[in-house]
Structure 1
């Protein structure tokens, strides 16, 4: 035993020396995979120079060794031998070595393993060569497919023609298609390409002349393609053996060359444009290109500028200094003695700002100018290109902006209205100057926080405001509402708020915009109305469309001998049986009937104790806070019944009087609705223009909108004055109201009033007044007719197409007619035709639908002795025809 233990100890030192001098990479390990010895090649291959590895664990030096390799080592320690020709070994630094290895155990004594020998050969270079070759072959195959390049061959001995797969695909023939030489050439365009290719192939076969040309090919599927065909002779044993070649589909290349040529022509046209100033400088700052637009803008010729001057000759020094300072700051350079030609060798420069150019004649011109760097193929700056646009007109409009803004503020003051917005992303709020005045708050349109607003809300309405905000956020819809505020001076005001929720593409709220109107006076008028009801001699009941009692006066309590709690919110037929059919019938009454509209006689009222009271009722529609109600004036006619003979005697006079009163009420209601409608449209238009102004980023559009603001405001003032004058007449129109009017003038006025809606909807309005250009008519009525019919066409436009409105006049033997045609939603006349021109009748769920426009239009036309009728088809459009005689 002693002898066997000493033997390996004596051999190991010699073995270590042998291993260290071995010409290949070999290492000796103990059973714990700790190094006993390693060859110099091992040290070099595995980059272990300068490291004392003897005694260190192999796994500590190479932590990247995976568990599979460790398991393999353990198997080899159990007297197994492993050999692997090629295996990747990924180093910790990310590099990969390809290794040949063989692992075998060494023995301390017979049958007793002392550790492992690992012998490796680095075959990385060989493996990479193989991979590169395979990759090259794969790339070549893919390149041919991507480049749409196929091969072809003509065997001169057999005259057979061979096409590769891609060649067949280019010709669009089946996979098994076998061409001959004549058929192959017949695929080409017959006038030019075919004879040229035939000549080339013949020269190659007979004289060995190679060719490389582009030809027009017509495929088997009759598609036209451009191909590049290359052919050359193959010589074997000194004889012409085959003609071999390539065919490449270059249709896309030819197309892009054509497009590039067009783009170059377009770019050249832009550069030579006289409307845009373009010049460029070289790396030293001198102008090397100066286009016609620059000549026109600055008054210098290209000959005066190119290669002779730099841009500072027509720039103010302080603007140049500011430009250089800004560029230096932007690119992190020292502003002192900074030069954008020398200190920005590779940086991208793209600077847009306003400059003032000094023309050759000494006059100045403001421009919007963009300076961009010009780079060579290596990405280095070789100069700058400058594109400038004359903004003289823009500056002129800017000077008018303050005045027009004052006009807008004035319009808000007239209507006691202000506008606001709240940004949900930044949390900031904005109030207009007029809104600050309503709230008596200090501000001129600057940010206004939600906390400051809530502090001004009346204590009774704070919870309602919070509930409304919560509902708006959840539903993403802003419902208009009314609430009270307490101003810093202690005044209690009532305001009405309308708004719109703005969302992004994800449906998230980004902003809420809206208007706030001081309706304190309106609420006071409501109180006066209630006072008026109390002073009325008759019992007054106001009901909603469902027939529920909403408002009563004291006389109602006396008549029915009930308390307010027993009357309010109760059903009207519980107190006046069978009244609803009369109410519904009154809505469709015709003013030509001899019976007075809305008057119902000899009904019975039921008191609390069941007693029946004979009553008469005068009823009419009432619009209040955008809702429709019915007012019932109820009179106890018990005494009249008792004195029936007196009533019969005075019946005729009473009917005449009632007719006059009813007609006056109708005229007053008609005038009221005209006033409301003609004022609402301009105000609505102002809101539309304001909405466009706030949402657009186009400065030119913004400026043009102010002209429209002024037009609408002037027209609003004119409408107010006109209606006041009309009110003073207190009677039907006279001959003085009729004047000669141009249809085109009325249409232009209407377009100005609806400018915001026209822009917003993209409506197209065309007219043909060639057959009859003017009419003698009531001007207010004619403007109202145009306004109602055109605004209806845009309001009820189709969601899938832009509105198109056509207006045409005719004159048949002195009978003047107008047709208004649109392509909107259309109306189902079978279902709604009988109530088309009824008051407050709407046929589409449009938020602004009031049902007043067509009623007013019909009333105005008929009052002047004319008629109006309609034809319509759902989702096709509607035509209104007006006969003025």
Structure 2
């Protein structure tokens, strides 16, 4: 096909395996773009006729228009598509091209309508969007398969339902969409539709009116299910907020800079603190400004090398400049990403200045010590007396002549190596040192594995003590064989030297003064002989086995050796590794050898491979850094226990959480002393059982005593490190304070225990059933009993109860119907009891997937009811055997019966009251509620049940009064214990309700915010899309198109205004820790009057203040100023026409509360049905007056942030009064605070 239309396609950023696989560029004149860079490249020399815009594209049509800058006479058709229907859309665009129509023959023109009709049907039937053809009155004429599938209906059902049967009538956007379509002939909106199953889901709707072939008006409705898109949008929003929080609150300094301009775009607070610049100063710098001049070339080279790096990478160590000119060394990690349409890089700059200095100092000390030991041939060993573990340094292995990889040192192995004539002397010296604390000093001979005898001189001391007993001892051992056997060594020195050289596990070489090899040992040849192949090593230059970057250092060291013969010089040298790309790091001792005249002749070098040690040191640095960052970042108390030494270390949070100095608790024993006495045995036994066993994890909850004497509930989680023999040698973990959680759990457990209520969960997906501990107790089974879905029905008593439970469960599963029933069950012990079962189905996609509910033991209540029924049938027997108190009176209140329980509970014997007037005996109860209940029962002959308190016996009674034609029969019992339990239960419920209200309030706030964002952002977006669709028709006059563009930009401004408002609200809610200060109320009013003086003069407003009771308040000034300012502005704005606005502001002090009232004589409001909406965001009640509905929302938000409460009273045309109440210390007022509410209500 000849390429005619020029089409630009803004495609989805979706994986390639999910895109439609066809070549757009080959079949059509189409250019596809994914990001801004591709867009700019594609539009060079290419002006499209059509813009296909995917709804998920990262590029907006406005960005394309900004780059194109099309002339007014140049049309551009913009069409929203999805990737799946491009094959249908593109042929239609080509077939309607004016260029093709000019070239087509007359025959083609005649066949065009038929061809278009076929193409239309293809699109209609195969479209991935739902399509409905309707009449303007909402009657649906047809629906394509996608629409039917979306709505879960057949086409006949869709047509029968009509438009109003498919759209949620409660959706406030529906009326607006209909009015817009009637006004404009088309509309693009989002509405809530309802599936056949009743499930509501969001739909993106495009509808327009057209005339059919007969000239009748018809409507097309294109539906797109955007449920998944809504979920993604919410997830993206949460992800954005999470990453923002991580960036600004991270303990690591972060810098974001533009990769092209190197300008610094943003930094976090740690970077500001570390470098000394303010945020404003930072954003005026480039990253070059943070480097000293000599570092800039290195920086630029590094930037070129890492420009295209996408993943997180370690850039290296660099020198940075602070604001005061101080230089610091930092380790930098970076990551490239797109930020505000700019290619940026996030750099983490970790200050390692102090660490580097300490590490270098440690290296120097270690090198000097090692050199000294090598020169003096002094070995060192250390013994842990308790564990009998012994440490050898490298020289010890050399002195003993053993291989480190095969020899495992111990005290017994040392004793075995000692000459038999010296062994007792060594043992006694050890015992004298350890038992008596004497200094250790002994000489003895040792027998080497090769049969050689050596003399050694050993000195030592006790290194550590515990409880008066030595714990570790240390020894130095010097080879003094030379002194002891001088003459013998003199005669055999040459042979021994050769034996040492051959058995040497280190490298040994000699070179002449020009650096050419003159000697090498087997170890050197085995590791580096491959460099010389068959040419031999002797005579070759030694630089050939050294990495080039170390040549100058080696040459300098050799020169110093020559100037100081006999002196040992040490150096680290990198050498190549065979068959590997890495290097072998070695440590060498260089010494210059001389001839008999003292003239330098050769350089002797002894070296060892330290690659493993260097790697371990690097890993140790990284590990220490990670540990430090984790310790500083977490709120938990991190601990590290060396099981072998018993040393216990704590993180910084240990002191902040519990008040203890970590140094005072550096052993397990000291830690155990602050455990709760009831927990010590359980916790320590559990810990040591894990240490001795095979487990690698330990989790335990217990109580730990804080510095102030209080106990905190904690959860302790640890990981056990084990050696190759599975022996635990180290444990690390964290301690978390769960005191608050425990309090809530205890409250809930007490409430459930008192009411005998358990819970259950029936998982229909996985066929599993869960019972809470109380539910198991009610069923009379063990705590570890696992209920099964198939057999749990057997607990219900055969007959009515079992049949009934099957029936209600069936309805719950099939019809999603909740239930609340009473049943008889047979417990595991065979007891028959009554239970109350409540169940609530959980529905997913119209299907019940889970039933959550509760079990309550009502056996006592049920049996009490049955007893009452039985009592009515067997009255005479009951009167004799009844357990409750009972009395009867005639119509004249003469007592005719008084049982022993009545005598006991009312402390009145039968002889005192029988045949006497009840009220004469109990004259002190006249006028009380019990007296009124008896009188009413006698009068209206209706049974009454009530509870009453008896002053004379200080007891609560549960009373039931039965009327008869002869008088009254009264049953009562002592319920004092139950009432006491009820009071406790109400207190528990009150606490639970308070927490629940807090959660509900938070959820309502989130729901309102979500709705506002959706409603106020979608409206301008829908308008923009609708106007953009109108612009695709080229027949509109230029003036109309300009009007469309003006409307588009107007809606863009609205969108920006809404986002600005929401940012303001979020800023208010985030700024919770603003500084409080004392505010003079008169000065505050004067400041507001000055700022709005022009408005006051214009409207002739009068502000009257009475602050006699409270002239000042201590709070957050910015919030308080905003509250007063918005309420004053609000009163002036909603004044009565032609009447001078008067605003009265008063303060009233009542107890610990301060009340502010703002009263005006303005227009007022009818709050009958809108009182709860007045403080909602974007709510306005006088639409003829300019405003956005932000002021009162901000006032309420700020009042509540300061711990206050605001209410409003208003009458239409009578004015409005706002009342604000604060505690004097401006703390949070809880809704359960009855004192605060009574002050407020009695004003």
TM-score w.r.t. length of structure 1: 0.33
